[in-house]
Amino acid sequence: MDLSHLDKKYFIDAHIYNCPFCKRNNVSYALIDTFSFHWGENKTCYGYIVRCDSNGCEKTSMHLSFQELRVYSRHSGHSNRFMDGLDIDAALFFSQPTSYFVLDNRIPEKVRELIYEAENSRKSNYLVGASACLRKAIYEMLEHEKSIVKNPKTGYADYQASIKSLKEKFTNVASELFDALGHTQEMASDNVHEGSWEAWDSPKLRFIIELTKATLHEMYVVPEERKERLGLLGQMKSAFSNSKNQTENIEEKEDVK
Ligand SMILES: [Zn+2]
């Protein structure tokens, strides 16, 4: 299964990005404001306010970095755009909204909040917090779907059995997603219940966060969008058959003549 879409970027380059609000891809944006402040004694944080140029969107997002990312020239100082050839996403440690793949509000709110928290913690390099939030988000999702299967011996939730029961419930979701979640060994560990959690490293954490988001999207957003599309198709179909009946009536009348 192709999971490359999980690596979707926020900023493509100094002019083009994927808007988290209107969800249009490859649209132009403007860097409309910047600020900086002392994060600590010897550390400066740079803030960037970016506005979507899409017609009717024009929403603004905020991005933080420990680097000055704008073009600098000796004559005119800092320009109002990011440097060319820079991996902007990699240079940012915090964005609000968090990423292109903003979680749809059809996903249960508690789960969404925990995913945001996991994502922000990961970006700020708080890996223990991020790992804990992500585990909590997955358990929250299992609980929301009443899919927690308890191990009769320990009385604790059996992670793999719970994910399996979720997989059986959501048959429309690609089973690879649940399998990948189920095989995240650290999740299944008994330590999960003890609070003595080990933090995952950042790339692994990022992958599991994106995997969880993709699964949530398939569970809660795709089926609703499909329903909407089918509803629309039904309306078009009935409009079409009405107009067809009218044409047939006209043809019949013409035959009579
Ligand atoms: Zn937009």
CA of 32 to the centre of ligand 1 (A): 14
**Residue 30, phi then psi, degrees to nearest 5:** -125, 140
Each residue's pLDDT tens digit, 7-25 = 467 898 999 998 888 888 8
Residues in the 5 Å CB sphere of ion ligand 1:
19, 21-22, 52, 54, 57
CA of 20 to the centre of ligand 1 (A): 7
Each residue's pLDDT tens digit, 126-176 = 888 888 899 899 999 999 999 999 989 988 888 889 999 999 999 988 888
pLDDT band for 184, please (50, 70, 90 cuts): confident
Q: Which helix (H) or strand (E) holds 166?
A: helix 159-169
How high is the pLDDT of residue 255? 54
Each residue's pLDDT tens digit, 73-96 = 888 888 889 999 998 988 887 888
Q: Which helix (H) or strand (E) holds 143?
A: helix 127-144
CA of 101 to the centre of ligand 1 (A): 13
Surface-to-core class of residue 131, CB atoms within 10 Å of its CB (0-12 exposed, 13-18 middle, 19+ buried): buried
Is the pTM of the predicted complex or chain greater than 0.75?
no
Query: What's the rounded mean pLDDT across residues 205-212?
Result: 86
Sheet holding 27-40, edge to edge: 16-17, 27-40, 43-52, 60-65, 92-96
Dist. CA 181–CA 173, nearest whole Å: 13
